[in-house]
Amino acid sequence: MLLYWTTKPSVATSADDLRTLSLHVLSRAGFGKSFKFVGHDERQTSTTPSNSYKESLQTVLENLVLILGLGTKFLAYPWLPRKLRTVHEACVSFQQYMTSLYEEEKQAFANGEVRDHNLMTSLVRASQDEAKTSGSLTESEIYGNMFAFNFAGHDTTAHTFTFALYFLAAHPEVQDWLSEEIREVLGDRLPSEWDYRADFPRLKRCVSVMYETIRLYTVVPSIKWTDSRSQSLTVGEKTVVLPPHSMVAPSYGSVQTDPRFWGPDSLAWRPSRWIKLAAGSDTDVVSKPGEEDFSMPVRGAFIGWSDGVRDCPGRKFSQVEFVATMASLFLNWRVDPTVAKGESLDTARRRVENLIKTDSGSVLLLQMLHPERAPLVWKKR
């Protein structure tokens, strides 16, 4: 993706390319399938349905509202328009793919072979192991889990990446701050030599860009339900009783920008607010990249991945994906908005930040609605 972006005079398809990246990461982690990156403008547009796994998954994810709304039985009618039939064919093809993978993995388990470590193989192996006892996952529960992970992990990450990239394009000083950390931690090592255990915990500035972006632009609303019993909450001096089967939609927008927790500049995008000096440092010491600590205000002031027993199980996964992507992009490159005729670079940056503020909205999740209106340019550092 970086090669594709940096060899183009400007990139208007960042959001689309980041969705491809997110899909590729999920394919590898979920099913053990790797794909070569193909940029938006290089892709062959095809009107015929494709049976390939990646394209069927992509079609399913992109048409999820339609699939959930109309149901797969309805979509099977042969008299429906071509587009809907294509969606149906993608559902069938993806289901077939999961079934054949499931059968292959079951066979490998029976033969005592370990082929790859991915989510599908782990679930199949766990279900086969547990089958000897009780309470193992059924075949359809495995498909359900695989689907939930793919669905929940695709656009959430891709939209967060897009917001973050545009914020960075509007804030060159944050790019410099980020790049300083990436260079300090990764030096001249090749990506194949980067080490998750040693490097990830030191890339605090990278992860702070993600937290700060989600703090202001929370892509998924956390929604919780009370179960069949009522629940009591103590709020200040009062006790509030929530009746059974009630939906609770916390106002994350308010809590995540409340000046009591986030200070007077709570509405500004400032990733460094998440960083504090390493424990034991002298307060006069300037913080050193790679040795800083991550600081979270009081629990509950940030609920971007939700909280409690039903919080997001993909939190760490998405953070590792985000940090690795930031490190790859900003180690040697920086990004700017393209400058319109008669515009200065500073004005272009303000225009980009304004685009985030005024042209974002909920489709299924919160996203930038027209990021293509502000193409980006990559330059070597």
**Interaction between residue 220 and ligand HEM (CB under 6 A):** yes
Residues 251-290, mask of contacts with ligand HEM (x by CB under 6 A): ----------------------------------------
- Looking at the Cβ atoms of 15 and 84, the one nearer to ligand HEM is 15
**Interaction between residue 320 and ligand HEM (CB under 6 A):** no
**Interaction between residue 345 and ligand HEM (CB under 6 A):** no
Instruction: Count other Cβ atoms within 10 Å, centred on residue 86.
Output: 18
Shortest distance (Å) from residue 122 CB to ligand HEM: 13
Q: Interaction with ligand HEM in 360-379: which residues (CB under 6 A)?
A: none
Q: How far is CA 20 from the centre of its chain?
A: 12
Planar angle of CA 140, 146, 152, nearest 5 degrees? 130
Q: Give, in order, the Cα–Cα distances in Å from 294 to each of 72, 104, 275, 321.
A: 45, 43, 5, 18
**Interaction between residue 126 and ligand HEM (CB under 6 A):** no
Shortest distance (Å) from residue 286 CB to ligand HEM: 31
- Looking at the Cβ atoms of 289 and 304, the one nearer to ligand HEM is 304
Q: Which residue in 157, 162, 256, 367 binds ligand HEM (CB under 6 A)?
A: 157
**Interaction between residue 149 and ligand HEM (CB under 6 A):** yes
> Among residues 147, 16, 40, which one has the least CA distance to residue 91?
147
Residue 245, Ramachandran bin (φ over 0: left; ψ between -120 and 50: alpha; else beta): left
**Interaction between residue 214 and ligand HEM (CB under 6 A):** yes
**Interaction between residue 318 and ligand HEM (CB under 6 A):** yes
Shortest distance (Å) from residue 246 CB to ligand HEM: 14
- Looking at the Cβ atoms of 1 and 348, the one nearer to ligand HEM is 1
For residue 248, list its beta bridge partners: 224
> Among residues 161, 169, 185, 171, which one has the least CA distance to residue 327?
185
Contact assessment for residue 146 and residue 123, using Cβ atoms and an 8 Å cutoff: yes
* Part of the chain binding ligand HEM (CB under 6 A), chosen from 91-99, 124-132, 214-222, 368-376: 214-222
Shortest distance (Å) from residue 28 CB to ligand HEM: 12
Write 252-258 long-range contacts (CB < 8 A, 24+): 252/218, 252/221, 252/222, 252/303, 252/304, 253/218, 255/300, 255/301, 255/302, 255/303, 256/215, 256/216, 256/218, 256/301, 256/302, 256/303, 256/304, 257/215, 257/216, 258/301
**Interaction between residue 148 and ligand HEM (CB under 6 A):** yes
Return the residue matching tokens 């997110």: 22
* Part of the chain binding ligand HEM (CB under 6 A), chosen from 53-61, 222-230, 239-247, 273-281: 222-230
Measured between its terminal Cα atoms, the distance across the chain in Å is: 18
Q: Which residue in 310, 370, 373, 381 binds ligand HEM (CB under 6 A)?
A: 310
* Part of the chain binding ligand HEM (CB under 6 A), chosen from 190-198, 281-289, 299-307, 349-357: 299-307
**Minimal CB distance residue for ligand HEM:** 314
Position 30, amino acid: G
**Interaction between residue 216 and ligand HEM (CB under 6 A):** no
Q: How far is CA 348 from the centre of its chain?
A: 27
DSSP secondary structure letter of residue 368: E
**Interaction between residue 93 and ligand HEM (CB under 6 A):** no
**Interaction between residue 160 and ligand HEM (CB under 6 A):** yes
**Interaction between residue 313 and ligand HEM (CB under 6 A):** yes
Planar angle of CA 318, 324, 326, nearest 5 degrees? 100
**Interaction between residue 117 and ligand HEM (CB under 6 A):** no
> Among residues 356, 337, 357, which one has the least CA distance to residue 345?
337
**Interaction between residue 213 and ligand HEM (CB under 6 A):** no
Contact assessment for residue 150 and residue 26, using Cβ atoms and an 8 Å cutoff: yes
**Interaction between residue 219 and ligand HEM (CB under 6 A):** yes
**Interaction between residue 223 and ligand HEM (CB under 6 A):** yes
**Interaction between residue 217 and ligand HEM (CB under 6 A):** no
Residues near ligand HEM (CB under 6 A)? 148-149, 152-153, 156-157, 160, 214, 219-220, 222-224, 304-306, 310, 312-314, 317-318
